[in-house]
């Protein structure tokens, strides 16, 4: 066991490949950023649909949320990457292929839009109705009220919960290694195939993610607390 | 007075499901008038005020703002259709509303609250709106709080900001929905004195209130609502000096200290 | 239509056996996560000297992605600890680790939410701390955290799709095997996705129903 322990703690292999691994981590961030942007916009759209006055729109929003909130990330990534191109190809009568980056971003973006939709909806419904009436009384249009009064408060109110969801999304980006997107885990598995030394590499990867996420979550929470305290004093 | 009334309410009914809250209310308010509406809770006075700025849609009847119907518009063939929201919003610009719960927007500064509507609804430039906002804040004696956030202000200060916000739209009528009911007694005076100053300046005001002292001293006319109808109305000397209906007499006896 | 029959319906035995493996792993992982989470939570709250270690473990399990944990438990642990001895075991162990981190925090929230006054009232009538815990704290914590526990179970089910990566023959693995045999992924992957979504949806719905009933019956604020 001690020999294995020594192997585990041998960081030299990690250090040797640090550029490649760092580039892999950067890919994680890149996929995260794009998927997050997609998830936020779709999530906001779905939330607005769910509070719409028309029943059909409400239903569409609910279906979207229920499908994607309950779908496992991995199966969605696989489905988007392998099935969707075939479906599109049949539709367009041509051979269609999806870049694995695109599949990853689309799949994760849609799945997490389900979570963000619920977060947005809860936040929107939590804005006191009186403030909306005050806006209407000044002659503000519903759209102006949404963008200037409701959403700014939704963002501030739901920030803590959203941070949790962002962190989940970032953790989920490791899945993309399984469809050959060159993120950190993918690089790790490539190196392991070459160097045949899984112990320090897997352990190192775990520690890297742990460190990144720990630091990020503390920093984000601290920043959000200070920002929120200004108005929710 | 022969000029057109600023607000004319004609036979307004309002029903919530099976409950009829307003059973046919009619009255006029002319420019410069201060009208107080008093009555027990559930008498419909807040609902009536909310019909005037269309936060509630009357089930029957109509409301005219300087002659223009709030609820309906005539189209080319002469038939009447419900007025679309965009036009109602246009008309709302001429009505300033002050709510019982203040309803300030917490994520904006005091000045931000005041200039939001002039800037975004009337289209004033940021600079012009800021000047206008500063004037309105000066009228309520809160110029020095312009950059504070509402959460840091006392209830009385928040309500005065709400008044400034309503004034910033330069409305034809100011509507007050129980403006001091949420305030601690020590804080009501600062709000009432601002309202007195506004009345003295000639602002047209409709005030739903429990503050009998204010109603007696500042209004031109007092309306007593009971069960969705105007039970009695008239100038303050008559309303507080010589009540006519029995119900009103009981109400007055209970509420005047 | 024919494709569906050939690729999905005819393979239902393989898919079903995969589903069974999925359920087994999820249930075992869930049970261990509850035990582990409770342990971590109690150590963190009441065992002074081990407090930081518990916090460290909780944060570690919560901050590392499940895929990383799976690979780590599967490949590194056997060399270090001589265990797990099978992919199946590594699978539920990794899932349990991840969830125990979250559940530890859930339990902590639930315990802290029980007003101090209740505990003090119990001490005042002479109840020993252990009995207070067993009769006053634990029952309420169980009820208030039940919906979160159900939610964590759905997380486990969703994460379990990754155990196919360490060659555990769950539902995901079986469907990928079928894809590799026939090279026609549309029907089988769609069917698999639908099955997973349906399972998670049903468990979620049950959890929501449970939460509503608890709220109505006991009026407990849910953790």
**CB distance from B169 to chain A under 8 Å?**
yes
pLDDT for the residue A114: 95
Rounded-to-integer distance, Cα A74 and Cα A82, Å = 12
**CB distance from A199 to chain C under 8 Å?**
yes
> How many C-beta atoms surround the C-beta of residue C195 within 10 A?
18
In sequence order, which residues have a C-beta less than 8 Å from that of residue B46 and are 6 or more positions away? B177, B178, B208
Q: How many CB pairs (< 8 A) connect A and C?
A: 111
pLDDT for the residue C161: 95
pLDDT tens sequence across A126-184: 999 999 999 999 999 999 999 999 999 998 888 888 999 999 999 999 999 999 999 99
- Give how far C1 is from chain A: nearest CA, Å: 16
Q: Which residues of B fall within a CB distance of 8 Å from A130? A: 99, 101, 103
Does the pLDDT at position A233 exceed 60?
no
Residues in chain A: 233
pLDDT for the residue B157: 95
pLDDT tens sequence across C57-111: 999 999 999 999 999 999 989 888 888 889 999 999 999 999 999 999 999 988 8
pLDDT for the residue A226: 83
- Give how far C47 is from chain A: nearest CA, Å: 24
Rounded-to-integer distance, Cα B183 and Cα B199, Å = 21
Tell me if B48 sits within 8 A of B12, measured CB to CB. Answer: yes
- Give how far C222 is from chain A: nearest CA, Å: 16
User: What is the number of domains present in chain A?
Assistant: 1
Record: contact A139-B99, CB cut-off 8 A: no
Structure ipTM over 0.95, yes or no: no
Q: Do chains C and A touch (3 or more CB pairs under 8 A)?
A: yes
pLDDT tens sequence across C130-159: 777 777 788 888 888 888 999 999 999 999
- Give how far A86 is from chain C: nearest CA, Å: 8
- Give how far B109 is from chain A: nearest CA, Å: 9
Instruction: Decide: helix, strand or coil at residue B193.
Output: helix
Q: Which residues of A fall within a CB distance of 8 Å from B126? A: none
Q: Which of A19-23, A40-44, B38-42, C1-5 has the highest mean pLDDT?
A: A40-44
Record: contact A210-C60, CB cut-off 8 A: yes
> How many C-beta atoms surround the C-beta of residue C189 within 10 A?
25
Does the pLDDT at position B249 exceed 80?
yes
Mean pLDDT of A5-27: 82
Mean pLDDT of B129-148: 94
Q: Assess whether the previous peptide bond of C84 is cis (omega < 30° from 0).
A: yes
Q: Which residues of A fall within a CB distance of 8 Å from C71? A: 185, 202, 205
Backbone phi, then psi, for B66, in 5-degree steps?
Answer: 50, 45
pLDDT tens sequence across C151-205: 999 999 999 999 999 999 999 999 999 999 888 888 899 999 999 999 999 999 9
Helices (H), C64-137: 66-75, 77-81, 87-113, 116-124, 129-132
Mean pLDDT for chain A overall: 90
Supply the CATH number for residue A207's domain. Answer: 1.10.3720.10
Q: What's the distance, CA A226 to chain centroid?
A: 24
CB-neighbour burial class of residue B232 (10 A; exposed 0-12, middle 13-18, buried 19+):
buried
Does the pLDDT at position A119 exceed 70?
yes
Q: What's the distance, CA B232 to chain centroid?
A: 20
Tell me if B149 sits within 8 A of B106, measured CB to CB. Answer: yes
pLDDT for the residue C220: 61
Which DSSP helix (H) or strand (E) runs through A18? helix A18-50
Q: How far is CA B132 from CA A139, B123, B172, B191, in A?
A: 18, 13, 16, 20
pLDDT tens sequence across A70-110: 999 999 999 999 999 999 988 888 888 889 999 999 999 99
Q: Which residues of B fall within a CB distance of 8 Å from A136? A: 53, 55, 89, 92
- Give how far B187 is from chain A: nearest CA, Å: 21
Tell me if A28 sits within 8 A of A170, measured CB to CB. Answer: yes
> How many C-beta atoms surround the C-beta of residue C87 within 10 A?
15
pTM, two decimal places: 0.84
**CB distance from A139 to chain B under 8 Å?**
yes
Chains that touch C (3 or more CB pairs under 8 A): A
DSSP state of C161: G
Domain hosting A30: range is: 2-229
Partner residue opposite A232 with nearest CB, options B96, B151, B162: B151
Tell me if C83 sits within 8 A of C77, measured CB to CB. Answer: yes
Rounded-to-integer distance, Cα B73 and Cα C200, Å = 52
Rounded-to-integer distance, Cα B192 and Cα B214, Å = 7
pLDDT for the residue A232: 66
Does the pLDDT at position A11 exceed 80?
no
Partner residue opposite A136 with nearest CB, options B55, B120, B165: B55
CB-neighbour burial class of residue A141 (10 A; exposed 0-12, middle 13-18, buried 19+):
middle
**CB distance from B90 to chain A under 8 Å?**
yes
Nearest CA in chain B to A153: B107
Rounded-to-integer distance, Cα C39 and Cα C35, Å = 6
**CB distance from A187 to chain C under 8 Å?**
no
Partner residue opposite B151 with nearest CB, options A135, A136, A231: A231
Rounded-to-integer distance, Cα B121 and Cα B170, Å = 12
Architecture of domain C2-218: Orthogonal Bundle (1.10)
**CB distance from A168 to chain B under 8 Å?**
no
- The domains of chain C are located at 2-218
CB-neighbour burial class of residue A92 (10 A; exposed 0-12, middle 13-18, buried 19+):
exposed
Rounded-to-integer distance, Cα C163 and Cα C22, Å = 9
pLDDT tens sequence across A181-232: 999 999 999 998 888 878 888 888 999 999 999 999 889 888 888 887 776 6
A78 versus C210: which is more confidently predicted? A78
Handedness of CA B47, B51, B53, B57 (dihedral sign): positive
């Amino acid at each position: 066991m001690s020999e294995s322990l020594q192997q585990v703690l041998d960081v030299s292999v990690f250090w040797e490949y640090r550029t490649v691994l760092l580039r892999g981590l950067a890919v994680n961030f890149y996929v995260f950023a794009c998927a997050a942007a997609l998830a936020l916009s779709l999530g906001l759209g779905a939330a607005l649909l769910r509070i719409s006055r028309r029943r059909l729109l409400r239903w569409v929003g609910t279906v979207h949320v229920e499908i994607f909130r309950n779908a496992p990330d991995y199966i969605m990534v696989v489905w988007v990457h392998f099935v969707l191109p075939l479906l599109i190809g049949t539709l367009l009568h041509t051979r269609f292929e999806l870049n694995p980056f695109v599949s990853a971003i689309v799949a994760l973006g849609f799945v997490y839009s389900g979570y963000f939709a619920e977060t947005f909806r809860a936040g929107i419904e939590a804005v006191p109705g009186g403030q909306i009436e005050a806006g209407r009384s000044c002659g503000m249009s519903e759209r102006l009220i949404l963008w200037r009064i409701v959403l700014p408060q939704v963002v501030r109110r739901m920030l803590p919960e959203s941070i949790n969801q962002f962190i989940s999304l970032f953790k989920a980006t490791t899945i993309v290694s399984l469809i050959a997107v060159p993120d950190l885990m993918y690089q790790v598995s490539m190196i392991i195939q070459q160097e045949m030394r899984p112990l320090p590499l897997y352990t190192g990867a775990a520690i890297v993610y742990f460190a990144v996420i720990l630091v990020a979550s503390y920093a984000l929470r601290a920043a959000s607390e200070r920002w929120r305290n200004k108005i929710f004093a | 007075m022969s000029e057109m009334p600023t607000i004319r309410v004609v036979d307004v009914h309002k029903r919530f499901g099976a409950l009829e809250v307003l059973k046919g209310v009619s009255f006029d308010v002319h420019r410069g008038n201060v009208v107080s509406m008093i009555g027990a809770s559930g008498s419909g006075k807040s609902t009536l005020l909310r019909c005037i700025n269309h936060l509630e849609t009357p089930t029957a009847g109509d409301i005219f703002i300087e002659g223009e119907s709030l609820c309906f518009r005539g189209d080319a063939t002469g038939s009447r259709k419900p007025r679309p929201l965009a036009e109602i919003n246009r008309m709302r610009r001429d009505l300033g509303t002050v709510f019982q719960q203040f309803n300030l927007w917490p994520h904006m500064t005091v000045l931000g609250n005041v200039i939001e509507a002039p800037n975004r609804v009337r289209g004033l430039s940021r600079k012009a709106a800021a000047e206008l906002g500063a004037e309105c804040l000066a009228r309520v004696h809160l110029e020095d709080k312009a950059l504070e956030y509402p959460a840091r202000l006392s209830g009385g200060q928040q309500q005065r900001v709400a008044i400034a916000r309503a004034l910033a739209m330069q409305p034809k009528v100011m509507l007050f929905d129980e403006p001091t009911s949420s305030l601690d007694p020590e804080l009501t005076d600062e709000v009432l004195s601002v309202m007195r100053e506004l009345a003295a300046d000639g602002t047209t005001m409709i005030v739903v209130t429990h503050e009998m002292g204010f109603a007696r001293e500042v209004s031109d006319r007092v309306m007593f609502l009971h069960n969705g109808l105007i039970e009695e109305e008239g100038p303050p000397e008559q309303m507080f000096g010589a009540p006519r209906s029995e119900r009103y007499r009981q109400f007055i006896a209970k509420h005047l200290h | 239509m024919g494709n569906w029959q050939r690729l999905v319906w005819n393979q239902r035995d393989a898919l079903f056996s995969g589903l069974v493996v999925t359920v087994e792993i999820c249930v075992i992982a869930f049970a261990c996560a509850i035990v582990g989470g409770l342990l971590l939570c109690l150590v963190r709250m009441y065992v002074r000297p081990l407090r930081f270690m518990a916090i460290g473990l909780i944060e570690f399990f919560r901050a590392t992605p499940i895929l990383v944990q799976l690979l780590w438990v599967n490949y590194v642990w056997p060399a270090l600890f001589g265990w797990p001895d099978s992919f199946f075991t590594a699978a539920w162990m990794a899932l349990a680790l991840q969830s125990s981190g979250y559940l530890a925090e859930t339990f902590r929230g639930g315990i802290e939410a029980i007003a101090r006054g209740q505990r003090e009232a119990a001490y005042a009538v002479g109840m020993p701390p252990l009995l207070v815990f067993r009769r006053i704290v634990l029952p309420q914590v169980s009820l208030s955290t039940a919906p979160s526990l159900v939610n964590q179970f759905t997380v486990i089910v969703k994460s379990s799709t990754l155990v196919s990566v360490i060659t555990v023959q769950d539902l995901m693995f079986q469907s990928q095997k079928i894809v590799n045999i026939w090279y026609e992924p549309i029907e089988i992957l769609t069917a698999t996705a639908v099955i997973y979504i349906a399972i998670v949806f049903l468990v979620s719905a049950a959890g929501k129903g449970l939460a509503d009933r608890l709220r109505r019956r006991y009026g407990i604020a849910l953790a």
